[in-house]
Amino acid sequence: MIDERRLTSPAQVPAYDERRLTSPAQVPAYDDHPIDPPPGWQRDHVERYVATGGADGHQWRGVHTLLLTTIGRRSGKARRTPLIYGRDGARYLIVASKGGSDDATAHTASPQEKARLWPAMTAIWPACDEYQARTRRDIPLVVLTTTTPA
């Protein structure tokens, strides 16, 4: 389980894109109070997960979930989202499907790595294949590597 409370800087947040920065002064401050999803099942999930340290929330509908905190490239605001994940050794795998939307959302694994790892995620959540069928874009597979022990 990734403990998002252990992330202390934007450099530790997997979605942080340092290639767009031209000086250290541009690095946004990490926010200890991220913005949670709007009211609904995702917010309820996050609140249970955080309140119990993952004891209630890490397992969801029979699969493992994590809380991913990302820093907005333009806003610098931290946002927290519950996501289903798989594992590849010490690395975490998430599918950036956005429920099959045509909008691209994330940085991706290489095509070769995705071909190898995609079946691991569809074994965990078969709907990933349905999401891919709904859209013309290639849904990214995001590989997260922690900077602190899992």
Nearest of 38, 59, 54 to residue 5 by alpha carbon: 54
Q: Quick one: 38 and 103 in the same domain? A: no
Q: What is the CATH number of the domain that holds 104?
A: 2.30.110.10
pLDDT in tens, the chain (150 residues): 344 434 333 333 344 333 343 444 444 455 568 999 999 999 999 999 999 999 999 999 999 999 988 887 788 888 899 999 999 998 889 887 777 777 655 557 889 999 999 999 999 999 999 999 999 999 988 887 665 555
Residues 65 and 108 reside in one and the same domain: no
Domain final residue pick, 84, 104, 120: 84
Domain that holds residue 23: 1-84
The pTM of the full predicted model, rounded to 2 decimals, is 0.61
User: Which contiguous run of DSSP H or E holds residue 69?
Assistant: strand 63-71
89 phi-psi bin (left φ>0, alpha ψ -120 to 50, beta other)? left
